[in-house]
Amino acid sequence: MFDAGCGMIDVGSGALAAFGLDPLGQYRIGSGSLASAPILTPAAGYWMLGIFSVLWVGLGIWWGRRATSYDGFSVAGRNVGLALGTATAVATWITSNTTMLAPQFALQLGVWGALAYSTASFGLFAFAPMSGRIRRLMPHGYTAVEFVRRRYGPVTTVMFLVISLFYALTWLVSMSMAGGKLLHVLSGIPYPVGMSVVVLVCVLYTLFGGMYAVIGTDFIQSLIILVGLVVVATAVLYQIDIADVHARLQADRPMLLSIAFPAALMALFNNLLFGFGEIFHSNVWWSRAFAMREGVGPKAYALGGLLWLPVPIVAGFLGLAAPALGIGISQPDTVGPLVAATLLGYGGALLVFVVVFCSLASSIDSLLAATSDLIVNDMVEPCLAADVSDSSKRRWSMIAIVGLGFTAWVVALPNVGTLATVLFFAGPMVASCIWPIVGGLYWRRASPLAASSAMLLGNACGLTAYFTIGWFVASLVGAAVSGVVFVIGMKVSPGDFDFDSLASPKAEG
């Protein structure tokens, strides 16, 4: 046991004991803290769940009327403007991980933890110019895997596809878990029930409307999330004396305020690179680049990053306030909603419910739509070895969406681990893709050998660090090794790629 200023933490490995960080995130209620009962009644929780379920499914069906072709279903007709483009970037990136993991980071890693999560906005800033180049290079493209196939060939494609699918599943599972945990903490609804309803609702409206439904609901969800967070933050600051919180933390848990907390410093850079890897490789962001009108992507992603930047800092403050307020936390990834609901009472709990439910839906639907595109365009269509009709691709997309939702439900049902440990297991995988993607988009000398070697060795070293040191360094190690190997690979086996070849409608090879 080790008290690093975060309460009583079980340290599962000798390496982490030196940093005071729990690899599984198991955060026990220390002596003298108050265990919090659900603020809402189960009946109120079920009513809220029912209202928003009907709302999102209804809107999905209504917007889905425009998805008359596969292009409409998968990339919204490639005609998304700046307002919708910015809204969908913000709503998709304000996930349950933002509203629930940012407070967990602050609870366990202190001030650096909240700042660490905010660095994920840099991924949006960096992807802004990349999205414009992607749209110009592949005006008829659908997926990130299609780019890798045409740029690097089959060996690299298989590796990239496995990474993309695994990451998408871990993100889906982490958000499904967040839905069940949120409803249980706020209203006492059993975890399996809440998690199942959240997944089912997102599957239904994505199934009916595809990308039109996803972007349409994202617009409304982003407005609700941003307004709700402003109201929650203002109300919480009104209830709490920041000077008092600082004084109590300084006296009882000084490590949370330390600028020399080793694990927190490593988590800062780890999360920065994880954010780059998440966005650069994920088809969630590539599909939006293909869906936006020419020239819209760079502006939309830059604005989205600016709007998203303060959100995890505001959410992280709730994690810092929990120890000072003596609120008992049995699961660290529920600290944000629990603190807000405890301080603000019944009305606050309702508002937190709405904000986090919207953040869940806005990301789960995006993942379902974008990952189904991968399955249809990069698995089903190549296996059929023939031109697939629009109606067949739409049907396969619907099958993929249902299959993904069911898989996420099965994996999330046992409720094993915390959101951080589930999501960050994919960290070294996505971080190893940063340099192959950047190099593939901008450097003609980037070669298949360089890309595949960088992914393979970056993955191997990053996962080794995950198990031997901790999740808070895995992405950092994966990105560093991948970068070095990628540069060496280009020197040993330089390529000479013709970027103009990507503009044709049909994938080659």
- We report the CATH number of the domain holding residue 267 as 1.20.1730.10
425 part of a folded domain: no
Report the amino acid identity of residue 108.
Q
Angle between helices 154-187 and 42-63 (to 10 degrees): 140
Beta bridge partners of 35: 328
Q: If pLDDT is split at 50, 70 and 90, which confidence band does 404 have? A: very high
Q: What is the greatest pairwise CA distance in the chain?
A: 69
How far apart CA 340 and CA 52 sit, in angstroms, is 21
503 to 113, 263, 508: CA distances (angstroms): 42, 45, 11
Structure tokens at 392: 């067949």
Angle at 95 between CA 90 and CA 98, to 5 degrees: 100
- Per-residue confidence (pLDDT) for residue 39, from 0 to 100: 73
Give the contacts of 240 (CB within 8 A, at least 6 positions apart).
321, 325, 343
Q: Tell me: the pLDDT tens digits for 60-100? A: 888 777 777 888 888 888 888 998 888 888 888 877 667 77
Range of the domain at 326: 39-414
Q: Would you say residue 31 lies in a domain?
A: no
- Reported pTM: 0.82
Residue in 23, 120, 18, 32 with CA at minimum distance from that of residue 332: 23
pLDDT per residue as tens digits for the range 332-351: 667 777 777 777 777 877 88
From 261, 284, 336, select the one nearest 123 (Cα to Cα): 284
Question: Does residue 243 belong to any structural domain of this protein?
Answer: yes
The number of folded domains in the chain is 1
Q: What's the pLDDT score for residue 434?
A: 95
pLDDT attached to residue 338? 75
**Average pLDDT for residues 39-46, to the nearest whole number?**
84
Residue 28 domain flag: no
pLDDT band at 163 (very low <50, low <70, confident <90, very high): very high
Residue 489 lies inside a defined structural domain of this protein? no
What integer pLDDT is reported at residue 451 of this predicted model? 96
DSSP for 232-244? HHHHHHHH--HHH
* Mean local confidence (pLDDT), 16-32: 36
Is 363 or 160 the better-scoring residue by pLDDT?
160
**What average pLDDT does the chain have?**
81
* Separation in Å, CA 38 to CA 77, 250, 349: 44, 29, 9
Q: How far is CA 375 from CA 13, 145, 243, in A?
A: 38, 10, 52
The reply to whether 333 falls in a domain is yes
Which range, 1-15, 232-246, 317-331, is most confident? 232-246
Handedness of CA 91, 93, 94, 95 (dihedral sign): positive
Domain membership of residue 256 (yes or no) is yes
User: Taking CA 95 as the corner, what is the angle to CA 93 and CA 100, rounded to the nearest 5 degrees?
Assistant: 135
Q: What residue has token string 């005006």?
A: 139
Does 34 reside within a domain? Answer: no
pLDDT at residue number 371: 92
